[in-house]
Amino acid sequence: MTELLELLETDARRPVSELASILKRSEYEVEKEIAQLERDQVILGYNTIIDREKLGGDGVTAIIEVNLTPEREVGFDAISERIYRFEEVRTVYLMSGSFDLLVIIEGSSLKDVSNFIATRLATIDGVTGTRTHFMLKTYKKDHIILGNKEKDRRLVVTP
Amino acid sequence: MSDMKKWEDRLSPAVNSIAPSGIRKFFDIAATMDDVISLGVGEPDFVTPWTIRESCVYGLEQGYTSYTSNKGLLELREEIIRHHAEVDGLVGPTADDVLVTVGVSEALDIAMRSILGPGDEILIPEPCYVSYGACAALAGGVPVAVPSRIENEFRVTVEDLEAHVTDKTKALLIGYPNNPTGAIMPRAELQKIADFAERHDLIVISDEIYGDLTYGSEPHVSFAALPGMAERTILLNGFSKAYAMTGWRIGYAIANPAIIAAMTKIHQYTILCAPITAQVAAVEALRRGEKYRLKMLAEYDRRRKFIYDGFNKLGLPAFEPKGAFYIFPDISSTGLSSNDFAEKLLTSEHVALVPGTAFGSCGEGYIRCSYATSLDQIAEALNRIENFLKNHVR
């Protein structure tokens, strides 16, 4: 991975001037490269990591193990597409091991999510089984510890 | 209240002969403010990597709570030797030639006390870490400051060293990568210092605490690893900077058997041994800390480039630092002394940094800024310094 991508992956909001200083290149060059990476879909988007607990919201996240019957010619691809096209589905991974797809779904309530699984996901042709795990608490997400209490304990001036 | 003066007069002349550190004043002012951005901190902003902290916790659970041998845990000394053989190509010294100390600070103190007699002179290139001269004086020796200059990228030259040699010169202290300038000594330059040391038969104390923190294409060269130099070198190093372990207080010295025996004698009567909990953590740092060290190094490097660019854009030119995590910009164009610059900046813009004069008189006209702080903080500090220059200088 290039240094530019490393910098953007840890903080997408770095000003271009800062990136240019660090990379010892002009702002114009950096902007051009970012635009190119976006066009090439190396950079797919920019997210914000939100501590939802702080918002007091009652949304739920479910992690679902899905078993599939693969199809001739296309394997898992076609059926996976039928699943990931749903708005409710946030993330889909093809996995090795005792199940095939790991599907992450976000919904407004437990009922909302279970309803989606029962009526939409589990009924798709080729889905042979699901096991649903509801997420209870997030401790760490994308390298960020939620509610991190470690603070700068250093003295202000030291030799 | 007791009569301060009366009691001061009864203190040891050696203590009275040394001035308190020039940094204290800034610390006291900064302590009254709650929105200070500090570029004045001489330690990493990272917390010690978890694997190191966790190994210490495990060590405590296993009952590692006793003294160790005076020289330190054998497995730690073996790891130290292995590390320097791998990284610096240091051959010769064995675990017996290592003394584990309470930070490099202790190693520095007992090294001076081991080699300096009354009136013995030790050459100390400046600007340099604040303790060097004081430790030499407390040991009864005579610190002789040798200036280094920006036109030589703050590397002391043999010409300047020669100009300060007398028949009382016994030792030379070098500290590269350098605090406060960020200077390093490439192999060819260091070899000239080695030839100089050999010519005058000097003991060389080489403080290489920032040795694992260099940037760019020129790697750190250990003085002890130069041909024939191991015997006359007291190599000082530790875990504070590279592994973000300042508060653990673990350093060490590697030297010839006679000197290590002398240092161990002082160490055993004054310290006994470095804390075992921290020694256990230091073993983990050398065994599994490498990838975390490299990650921190990459982050310092980004900040280094950012702050170097920033100061030059502000019209405060700086030598591009090659090691440690300090930059030493030239502020003489402002017409302010280093001390006034630092004090006024702190009171008006709440940015703390350290005047160059805290590191020796040839630091006048410079300020030391640490970039061991986040990029956001550095950006904000640079904004405030820009304001300061607009409102108070131009």
Please report residues of A whose CB lies closer than 8 A to that of B305: 21-24
Report the C-alpha gap between B19 and B49 in whole angstroms: 36
User: Which pair of structure tokens corresponds to residue A81?
Assistant: 């597409």
Q: Are strands B367-370 and B326-327 parallel, antiparallel or unpaired?
A: antiparallel
Residue B128 sits in the same domain as residue B219: yes
B178 and B43 inside one domain: no
Contacts of B314 in chain A (CB under 8 A): none
Specify the pLDDT at position B3: 87
With beta carbons under 8 A apart, name residues in chain B contacting A159: 21, 23, 42, 129-131, 179, 354, 358
Q: How confident is the model at residue A55 (pLDDT cuts 50, 70, 90)?
A: confident
Q: Are residues B33 and B56 in the same domain?
A: no
CB contact under 8 A, B36 and A156: yes
Contact criterion met (CB < 8 Å) for A155 and B41: yes
Chain A CA closest to residue B38:
A156
Q: How far is CA B266 from CA A84, B12, B68, B307, in A?
A: 71, 20, 16, 42
- Do the chains contact at B21 and A24, CB–CB below 8 Å? no
Under an 8 A CB cutoff, do A157 and B30 touch? yes
Q: Does residue A143 register a pLDDT over 70?
A: yes
* Rounded distance between C-alpha atoms, residue B202 and residue B171, angstroms: 5
- Give bridge partners of residue A63 from the DSSP assignment: A104, A133
C-alpha B259/C-alpha B97 separation (Å) is 9
CATH number of residue B142's parent domain: 3.40.640.10
* pLDDT number for residue A151: 82
Task: Look at residues B163, B225, B221 and name the one whose alpha carbon lies nearest to residue B196.
Answer: B163
Give residue A59's pLDDT band: very low, low, confident or very high (50, 70, 90).
confident
- Among residues of chain A, what percentage have pLDDT more than 70? 100
From B31, B130, B310, residue closest to A156, measured CB to CB: B31
| pLDDT (tens digit per residue) in B231-251 | 999 999 999 999 999 999 999
Which stretch of A34-43, B20-29, B46-55, B168-177 has the lowest confidence by average pLDDT?
B20-29
Report how far Cα B170 is from the mean position of its chain's Cα atoms: 22
Instruction: Please give the structure tokens belonging to residue B330.
Output: 């030239």
Chain A contact for B27 (CB, 8 A cutoff): yes
Which among B289, B323, B351 is the end of a domain? Answer: B289
Domain boundary (B289, B310, B334) is at B289
pLDDT of residue B27: 85
Q: How many residues make up chain B in this entry?
A: 394
Residue B283 shares a structural domain with residue B296: no
If you measure CA to CA, which chain B residue comes closest to A24?
B305
Residue labelled with tokens 């854009």? B313
Q: Are residues B26 and B126 in the same domain?
A: no
Residue A73 has pLDDT above 70, yes or no: yes
pLDDT band at B166 (very low <50, low <70, confident <90, very high): very high
Nearest-Cα distance to chain A for B23, in Å, is 7
B355 in contact with chain A, both atoms CB, cutoff 8 A: no
Question: Residue A65 has what pLDDT?
Answer: 98
pTM, 2 dp: 0.92
Provide the residue count of chain A.
Answer: 159
- Complex ipTM, two decimals? 0.83
CA-based nearest distance B34→chain A, Å: 11
DSSP-based three-state secondary structure for B259: helix
pLDDT at B28: 86
pLDDT tier, B394 (very low <50, low <70, confident <90, very high otherwise): low
Q: Note the pLDDT of residue A46.
A: 96
pLDDT in tens, B298-316: 999 999 999 999 999 999 9
CATH, residue B308: 3.90.1150.10
Of residues A14, A15, A158, nearest to B41 (C-beta):
A158
Residue A150 reports pLDDT greater than 80: no
Q: Which CATH architecture has domain A54-136?
A: 2-Layer Sandwich (3.30)
Asked if B22 and B72 sit in the same domain, the reply is no
Is pLDDT of A145 > 80? yes
- Both B243 and B113 in a single domain? yes
Phi, psi of A30 (to 5 degrees): -65, -45
- Shared domain for B154 and B76, answered yes or no, is yes
Domain-ending residue, one of B289, B306, B323: B289
Half-sphere exposure (CA, 13 Å, Cβ side) for B326? 33
CA-atom Rg of chain A in angstroms: 21
Burial per residue of B20-56, b for 16 or more beta-carbon CB atoms within 10 angstroms, e otherwise? ebbbebbbebbeeeeebbbbbbbbbbeebbeebeebb
Closest-CA residue of A relative to B368 is A159
pLDDT at B142: 97
Contact flag A159-B375 (C-beta cutoff 8 Å): no
pLDDT at residue B1 is higher than 70: no
On average, the pLDDT of chain B sits at 96
Please tell me which residue of chain A has the smallest CA distance to B304.
A22
Same domain for B144 and B283?
yes
Contacts of A110 (CB under 8 A, 6+ apart): A60, A134
Cβ-defined contact of A156 to B375 (cutoff 8 Å): no
Residues B359 and B147: their CA atoms lie apart, in Å, by: 11
Which residue type occupies B13?
P
Separation CA B213–CA B324 (nearest Å): 5
Give the domain ranges of chain A: 3-39, 54-136
Q: Does B65 share its domain with B156?
A: yes
pLDDT band at B195 (very low <50, low <70, confident <90, very high): very high
The string of pLDDT tens digits covering residues B252-269 is 999 999 999 999 999 999
Q: Which pLDDT does position A148 carry in this prediction?
A: 78
Is residue B55 domain-shared with residue B44, that is, in the same domain?
Answer: no
Say whether residue B172 is in contact with chain A using an 8 A CB cutoff: no
Q: What is the pLDDT of residue A53?
A: 84
Whether residue B41 and residue A150 make contact (CB cut-off 8 A), yes or no, is no
Instruction: Tell me the pLDDT tens digit for each residue of A75-104.
Output: 999 999 999 999 999 999 999 999 999 999
Nearest CA of chain B to the CA of A157: how many Å?
Answer: 5
Q: A148 or B348: which carries more pLDDT confidence?
A: B348
Lowest mean pLDDT among A5-9, B28-32, B132-136: B28-32
Q: Are residues B236 and B341 in the same domain?
A: no
Q: Span B374-386, mean pLDDT?
A: 97
Q: Which chain B residues in 94-123 lie under 8 Å from chain A, judged by CB atoms?
A: none
pLDDT, tens only, B50-59: 999 999 999 9
Q: Which domain holds residue B363?
A: 4-48+292-393
How many domains, chain B? 2
Work out how many CB contacts closer than 8 A connect A with B.
56
Cα end-to-end span (Å), chain A: 37
